[in-house]
Structure 1
């Protein structure tokens, strides 16, 4: 049952008929509004949430057919049910009203028992339609929520392929740039923090990084503890992936210095970048993840782990891609676990 009485609009240019019908409906428990012409009726419809309209056909200036046609052509109003009431009782008039979208048609003088039955039937159908619309809106909201959650886990093109039924997603990319970042001494610095405080500060830092990744059109792959991994050039290839990763790395350096776990001691990061081919795909069926594999990934990881606090270490490959647009400090040859000797550089800044 409705918490409030149903609101009915009576549209009739005859004041006696209009007032008589209004009093009768009010006695039956309905809230009633009245309009003496079609223009007034449409104005009320656009400003008031109505449950039903009782509409006379024969009115000057704007007749009932025209009002009905205007109402049903308006996407905001067309859901309002309309019962046509008229002294005209020919089949053509009835057919025309139904074709224009009226729910029912009653001839004057009408039987008040029949009128009440028709009104109740129309209102019940409207309640059912309203319930259906509310359910569909709730369903759409849940679908959007699920979509957002899925896009928080997977890149949009990959999520779309999964929804289209692909069971195995594995792709090769010939040219991407991978960045690993790790907060220096985070475990030691966070000894005095509660678990909630630890998670909160990591969430703030990584949320800022996520926003950077979105701004630069990059793909965050994962976080592991206090480490962050992001890639440029997939799943949608782009020619400037190395530049985008370099720009994000420089921004990350600035962001992390705004955080501290102890008074007067700001955080620093080690970062490593490498460019080359990778394999990418979705692993798992329940807690699935989009991940990368290959020597390019392993080398980027080594650039971070063999790097220095506050520095962005890059491989020769990445340096050659960026050297014309960015300033570097040569680090020289270092011994990299599993890779042997490698010539590396520190990314300093973007050239003016």
Structure 2
């Protein structure tokens, strides 16, 4: 990178001309640093090592000519932005055109006129500073855009975040055949009072980060977290016929993760998970709120399933049970009276069905509940 002290590389195989150029350019600024090269190869090496602010290249030099050096420097990502002025005894317009098309910023003809040289170098360095500032601001803007995109990818479903980044207007729309997963930590408020804010946030960050990994594993979309509550949806963008199965597998793995963690961690957690399947409407709450949410009876039902479930249980609605019936057995619970819904059938997800089960249905009494 160019330092605060301006650096000019002069490449000419004739010492007298190089000294002439350096003597006149010293009047531009007091602290200019000059580098010297006697051929095109040395010019390329010094440019790579020092990244000067400006290079003056004599066209006719031994080993590698100034023109060849110009082409090499412009092809190298590390030196392609360094402004280069070609100095040459060629006076034909075709030579000037060739140099400019190869990437030179200007062309000075020999014999060199000192005032013209100073004017062209001053102009080139001013332009170089402007381009450098523009590039720096562009880099800063790109970094800010990356940060913004990362924030969007963290707070919104990836599918929605990508569309927003592309400038697509997100309209509310219905989705059919979706399974909603609601998870909530048991006795969170009571445990939170016994932890420092920092420790509490560390625990939530660790738990929900793992929940996110599990959701992604089964193509579920995390919709939001509210305090200790976690909501995800399966089938929202994928239109998968296995949306209920994926949600059930994700729920099982979340519960297993909590169980395994409790064996080695001093802070013990329990989770209640509810599943319900149906149709939803998804979209932003308002134009000024980047909270992407889902609405519908199946969302409300999933919330009820979670609320009416027991610790470390996966409570599913009738709609979800029907979809999972080929894959799991269930503990049929006593119907619960739910506000606004009346008596509601609900089931605990029991275990995956064994392959040898021929008719896909096992029924027996177990602890006062019926296993289906």
| 2:7 equivalent in structure 1 | 7
| 1:344 equivalent in structure 2 | 347
1:172 aligned to which of 171, 174, 179: 174
Q: Secondary structure at the match of 1:181?
A: strand
Q: Secondary structure at the match of 1:266?
A: coil
Change (3 A) 1:130 1:119: same
1:336 to partner: Cα distance:
4.4
Aligned 1:255-334 pairs, distance under 5 A? 255-257=257-259, 266-325=268-327, 327-334=328-335
What is the CA deviation profile of residues 231-275 of structure 1, one whole-angstrom value per residue up to 9, with x for unaligned ones?
111134333332332232122213334667xx9661111111122
Change (3 A) 1:142 1:347: farther
- Residue pair 1:270, 1:307 contacting (<8 A) in 2 also: yes
| 1:186 equivalent in structure 2 | 188
Quote the Cα distance in structure 2 between the aligned partners of 1:114 and 1:157. Answer: 58
Q: Secondary structure at the match of 1:88?
A: coil
| 1:67 equivalent in structure 2 | 69
* Residue 221 (structure 2) pairs with residue 219 (structure 1): yes
Quote the Cα distance in structure 2 between the aligned partners of 1:229 and 1:22. Answer: 70
Quote the Cα distance in structure 2 between the aligned partners of 1:98 and 1:336. Answer: 83
Quote the Cα distance in structure 2 between the aligned partners of 1:8 and 1:265. Answer: 64
| 2:358 equivalent in structure 1 | none
What is the CA deviation profile of residues 150-185 of structure 1, one whole-angstrom value per residue up to 9, with x for unaligned ones?
33333244345556463x722111111111111111
- Residue pair 1:283, 1:290 contacting (<8 A) in 2 also: yes
List alignment gaps of at least 5 residues for structure 2: 356-372
Q: Secondary structure at the match of 2:241?
A: coil
| 1:148 equivalent in structure 2 | 150
- Residue pair 1:176, 1:277 contacting (<8 A) in 2 also: yes
Larger CA deviation: 182-191 vs 329-338: 329-338
Quote the Cα distance in structure 1 between the aligned partners of 2:132 and 2:123. Answer: 14
Change (3 A) 1:151 1:339: farther
Quote the Cα distance in structure 2 between the aligned partners of 1:350 and 1:145. Answer: 46
- Residue pair 2:284, 2:292 contacting (<8 A) in 1 also: yes
For normalisation by structure 2, the TM-score amounts to 0.82
Quote the Cα distance in structure 1 between the aligned partners of 2:133 and 2:266. Answer: 59
* Residue 97 (structure 2) pairs with residue 80 (structure 1): no
Change (3 A) 1:215 1:52: farther
* Residue 44 (structure 2) pairs with residue 33 (structure 1): no
* Residue 60 (structure 2) pairs with residue 58 (structure 1): yes
**How much is the aligned-residue C-alpha RMSD, in angstroms?**
2.9
1:191 to partner: Cα distance:
2.7
Q: Secondary structure at the match of 1:249?
A: helix
- Residue pair 2:277, 2:319 contacting (<8 A) in 1 also: yes
- Residue pair 1:86, 1:106 contacting (<8 A) in 2 also: yes
List alignment gaps of at least 5 residues for structure 1: none
